[in-house]
């Protein structure tokens, strides 16, 4: 069979097994939690032939990147982006790249270059941008359907050194930030659909996948037939005018998602700290952002100290006594002293109060505490408060981490510039790992 015949044969099979995507098409992808790194992986299809690809889920990243080393990246449809083109300029490219190896993915002359970043090890490399085929399962909000192809998807290459510190089996990073070349923005732009996506991260005890929805404001059905979009409360998304990346892009706002937390309550009692820490100053410092690459919520030191003291006091009223701490946590309790509820272990309730006193994100036991198995024989298992000290002068005063987002539905509406949040979906007798992926027909 000639190369032309093979290409034509593959293209016919490709069209037969892929759904025609329209402006009303919604997409879904599974999210898994890696217990060793406490990070999240999203599974998409990429390249030609389409290949199932695991990427680190990074809510605040500008663009998607993937390992393009010759033994890792094989595709018949990849294209490079020449320097000096409008597309290259729109990517805010800071360099033009040549390559002295045989031509292939990530190796062309006069190629538009980017700086993909690893948020875990805080590293970057100079790598070439590329265009290739990308696909997600379509969905009606209840079940996954066939793969819907998103053509001309723009990403960055990287080398495998940028995979250090990431979950095993990951080939790169899925950027979901506010830029025009994030994953959700490209899906929205190509099909002229609203840029709305939602995440439901699986809980620490879940063996099944959570869900990422794209191009849809709902419905989002989870077992036993609960549409979680009907349980969302909304607060504005706040723009941080100063972006913080390893490579500085002057004049560029942050691609991360900030919200207007105005106070933090424990059992209904507000913490006492300098409220200006919750606002973003002219240099981009302060405020509250969400991060899927930060395992546990971090608090500026003065907020953290007030938080810890109030939590310990409220826990004492429940006859709970602090025991020896387990790093990185400072406040732990013997598991044998704590009783369970449908929302996790019984501990004081934490509320992140938003722009109005009646708009708050409630954090209950399953998202507040972390179960830790003691290594010593006599210590016994403990529940530790899953918040950590972020330092005295952090870039962001409050960083809401992945553990606090698990089993919560979060909708990012870039049309209305608002965040929809459900608080714990456990209160509705469901969880983020209960979407029906079993009807996936595959490619």
Lowest mean pLDDT of 66-80, 87-101, 266-280, 376-390, name the range: 376-390
Q: Is the pLDDT of residue 22 over 70?
A: no
Mean pLDDT of the region 34-59: 97
In degrees, rounded to 5, the angle at the alpha carbon of residue 357 between the alpha carbons of residues 356 and 359 is: 65
CATH code 2.40.70.10 region(s) in the chain: 21-222, 227-428
Per-residue pLDDT averaged across 218-233, rounded? 97
Choose which CATH entry (2.40.70.10, 3.20.20.70, 3.60.20.10, 3.10.105.10) describes domain 21-222: 2.40.70.10
Distance, CA of 59 to chain centre: 4
Predicted local confidence at residue 250, as pLDDT? 80
Tokens of 156: 């960055």
The tokens for 80 are: 């490079």
What is the Cα–Cα distance from 78 to 132, expressed in whole angstroms? 5
Tell whether the model's pLDDT for residue 8 goes beyond 50: no
Count the neighbouring beta carbons within 10 Å of the beta carbon of residue 207: 8
Q: pLDDT-based confidence at 5, cuts 50/70/90?
A: very low
Q: What is the largest CA-CA distance in the chain?
A: 78
The burial class, CB within 10 Å (0-12 / 13-18 / 19+), for 35 is exposed
Between CA 427 and CA 443 the distance in angstroms is 35
Gap between the Cα atoms of 297 and 303, Å rounded: 12
pLDDT band at 308 (very low <50, low <70, confident <90, very high): very high
Q: What band does 10 get if pLDDT is binned at 50, 70 and 90?
A: very low
Rounded Cα–Cα distance for residues 151 and 173 (Å): 19
Can you tell me the mean pLDDT for 120-139?
A: 96
Do the beta carbons of residue 406 and residue 423 sit within 8 Å?
Answer: no
pTM, rounded to two decimals:
0.93
The token pair that represents 27 in the structure block: 């997409």
Residue tagged 């509820």 (tokens): 341
CB 283 within 8 A of CB 242: yes
Please give the C-alpha separations between residue 184 and each of 74, 105, 282, in angstroms, as whole numbers: 24, 23, 28
For residue 150, what pLDDT is reported? 87
pLDDT reading at 440 higher than 90: no
Bridge partner residues of 43 (DSSP): 54
* pLDDT category of residue 251 using cuts at 50, 70 and 90: confident
Mean of pLDDT values over 214-233: 97
pLDDT, residue 191, reads 79
Q: If you average pLDDT over every residue of the chain, what do you get?
A: 92
Angle at 161 (CA atoms; ends 155, 164), nearest 5 degrees: 100
Is pLDDT above 90 for 54?
A: yes
Q: pLDDT tens, 79-122?
A: 999 999 999 999 999 999 999 888 899 999 999 999 999 999 99
Residue 303: pLDDT band by 50, 70, 90 thresholds?
A: very high
Residue 205 confidence (pLDDT): 82
Considering only CA atoms, which of 57, 256, 244, 220 is closest in space to residue 139?
A: 220
Is domain 227-428 classified as CATH 2.40.70.10?
A: yes
pLDDT of residue 377: 57
CA distance 44 to 414: 22
Tens digits of residue pLDDT in 145-185: 999 998 899 999 999 999 999 999 999 999 999 999 999 99
pLDDT of amino acid 246: 85
The predicted structure's pLDDT at residue 14? 41
Q: What angle do CA 364, 370, 371 make, to 5 degrees?
A: 120
Task: Report residue 214: phi and psi, to 5°.
Answer: -130, 145
CA distance 65 to 61: 10
């Amino acid at each position: 069979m000639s190369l032309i015949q093979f290409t034509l044969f593959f293209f016919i099979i490709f069209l037969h097994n892929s759904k025609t995507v329209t402006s009303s098409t919604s997409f879904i992808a599974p999210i898994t939690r890696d217990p060793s790194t406490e990070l999240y992986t999203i599974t998409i299809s990429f390249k030609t032939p389409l290949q199932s690809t695991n990427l680190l889920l990074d809510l605040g990243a500008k663009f998607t990147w993937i390992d393009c080393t010759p033994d890792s990246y094989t595709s018949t449809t990849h294209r490079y982006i020449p320097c000096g083109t409008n597309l290259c300029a729109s990517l805010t490219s800071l360099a033009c790249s040549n390559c002295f190896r045989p031509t292939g993915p990530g190796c062309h002359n006069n190629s538009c270059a980017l700086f993909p970043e690893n948020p875990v090890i805080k590293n970057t490399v100079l790598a070439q941008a590329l265009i290739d085929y990308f696909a997600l399962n379509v969905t009606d909000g209840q079940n996954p359907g066939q793969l819907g192809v998103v053509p001309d998807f723009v990403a960055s290459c990287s080398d495998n050194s940028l995979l250090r510190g990431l979950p095993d089996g990951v080939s790169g990073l899925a950027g979901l930030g506010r830029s025009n070349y994030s994953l959700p923005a490209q899906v929205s732009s190509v099909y002229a659909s609203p840029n709305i996506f939602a995440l439901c991260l699986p809980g620490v005890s879940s063996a099944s996948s959570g869900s990422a929805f794209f191009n849809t404001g709902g419905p989002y059905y989870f077992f036993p037939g609960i549409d979680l979009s009907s349980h969302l409360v909304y607060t504005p998304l706040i723009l941080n005018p100063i972006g913080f990346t390893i490579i500085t892009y002057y004049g560029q706002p942050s691609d991360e998602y900030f919200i207007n937390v105005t106070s933090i309550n424990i059992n209904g009692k507000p913490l006492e700290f300098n409220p200006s820490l919750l606002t973003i100053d002219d240099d981009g410092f302060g405020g509250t952002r969400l991060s899927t690459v930060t395992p546990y919520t971090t608090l500026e030191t003065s907020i953290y100290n007030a938080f810890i003291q109030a939590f310990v006091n409220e826990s004492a009223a429940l006859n709970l006594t602090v025991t020896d701490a387990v790093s990185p946590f400072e406040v732990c309790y013997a598991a044998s002293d704590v009783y369970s509820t449908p929302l996790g272990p019984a501990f004081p309730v934490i509320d992140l109060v938003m722009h109005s006193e009646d708009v708050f994100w409630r954090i209950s036991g399953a998202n507040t505490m972390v179960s830790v198995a003691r290594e010593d024989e006599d210590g016994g298992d403990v529940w530790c408060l899953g918040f950590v000290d972020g330092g005295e002068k952090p870039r962001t005063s409050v960083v809401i981490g992945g553990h606090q987002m698990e089993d919560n539905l979060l909708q990012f509406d870039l049309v209305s510039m608002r965040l929809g949040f459900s608080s714990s979906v456990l209160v509705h007798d469901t969880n983020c790992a209960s979407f029906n992926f079993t009807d996936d027909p595959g490619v």
